[in-house]
Copies of this chain bind each other. A is one copy, B any other.
Amino acid sequence: MADLAAHVGVSRQLVSLVLRDAPGASAETRRRVRAAAKELGFSPHVGARSLRRARSKDLGVVFAPAHSTEPEIVEAIYPAASALGYDVMLSAQTSTRSTDEAVDELLGHRCAALVVIGSTVDLRAIARRSHVPVVDVGFGRPNRYYDVVRSSGDLGIEQLVDHLADLGHRGVTYVDPTSMPPGALRRRGYERAVDRRGLTGDLLPVPGDYAAADYFSEAGATAARSLLDRPELPTAVIAPNDDTAVALLHTLIRHGARVPEDLSVAGFDDAPIARTSSVDLTTVRQDPAHLGAAAVRAAVRRVQNPDLHPRETVLDTSLVVRTSTAAPRRPRPRSRTAGQHVESAG
């Protein structure tokens, strides 16, 4: 910066003023400083800036690149933070890098607050040792140590069950990947709605390892095989995430079932895959942009007023009806040999 000042022929302080858009420099000087900065390829040293600055304007974000829904939230955080005058600093949590390591890096950068996306660990210890506000995005429970931002997974599933019941289904099967963190909440929504509508419940648990990259898909395929082994298919199946629903749907189709003629299939998330024309899945949308923006708001709220208590933000979900669900038909007898296919219905 001193070099730049010498190059323009003014003091370093004036350059500083210009670069942070502070008042007290003439238009002509601003122009010349900006031009010189661009010419010399100068960018201010973020470290020195954060060292000197009274309070940090950085938002630390911990996320897991491997989980398909998190990048969408990360994308949404950038414009939301920028609108409130904050910068974003990312830190990945991977199979070789624990949440604690990711958090420590961000604390070292003196972030004003931490946003932790989709974490499965208890954030209480982290909230205590980091002396900044912590926001959990995903599936935390309300508490007095950190904020929680999540979508209403239970109500979303209820919307799905209502949709299927309205179509005339008398029973709804629910595939439950038991290791899925938000699973318990969504399952409760299913149970509540089935009860309320007087439907026949049918819970199909699929255990597995949440850390495996293909756990959700594999759970759908497993569930489909399990259904195909039954003497009769259900008329409607819900999976609590789109990856599971899509794998379920394709495995069923591959073995001769028709969707939605033979059975309706619905998912949850409105992931990109659900929208493609080869799938066209009825699902529940939880808008990642809203989640990201709400997380930023929650963090900034507590940065600006540290005495406020952490709170829970629950975002509405919306039902997205596509062609994978329809009214049930009268059950038909079907052949069940693997690899064999049903005849054309004409």
Answer whether residue A290 sits at the interface, using C-beta atoms and an 8 A cutoff: no
With both beta carbons as reference points, the residue of chain B lying nearest to A259 in the complex is identified as B254
Answer whether residue A41 sits at the interface, using C-beta atoms and an 8 A cutoff: yes
Question: Are the CB atoms of B214 and A272 closer together than 8 Å?
Answer: yes
With both beta carbons as reference points, the residue of chain B lying nearest to A335 in the complex is identified as B344
Chain B contacts for A251, CB-based, 8 A: 277-278
With both beta carbons as reference points, the residue of chain B lying nearest to A38 in the complex is identified as B129
Question: Are the CB atoms of B51 and A78 closer together than 8 Å?
Answer: no
Question: Are the CB atoms of B279 and A250 closer together than 8 Å?
Answer: yes
Q: Min CB distance, A111 to chain B, in Å?
A: 10
Question: Are the CB atoms of B47 and A75 closer together than 8 Å?
Answer: no
Chain B contacts for A276, CB-based, 8 A: 214, 217-218, 221, 247
Chain B contacts for A272, CB-based, 8 A: 213-214, 217
Q: Which of B74, B253, B275, B346 contacts A254 (CB 8 A)?
A: B253
Question: Are the CB atoms of B78 and A96 closer together than 8 Å?
Answer: yes
Q: Which of B50, B79, B90, B217 contacts A91 (CB 8 A)?
A: B90
Chain B contacts for A50, CB-based, 8 A: 45, 47
Q: In the complex, A309 Cα to B47 Cα: how many Å?
A: 30
Binary B-proximity of A126-153 (CB < 8 A = 1, otherwise 0): 0001110000000000000000000000
Closest 7 CB pairs of A and B: A65-B71, A47-B47, A217-B276, A90-B90, A251-B278, A46-B108, A41-B129
Known: A66-B72, A74-B92, A75-B95. 16 other contacts (CB 8 A): A43-B108, A44-B108, A45-B108, A45-B110, A47-B49, A48-B51, A75-B92, A88-B92, A90-B91, A214-B272, A218-B276, A221-B276, A250-B250, A256-B344, A335-B344, A341-B344
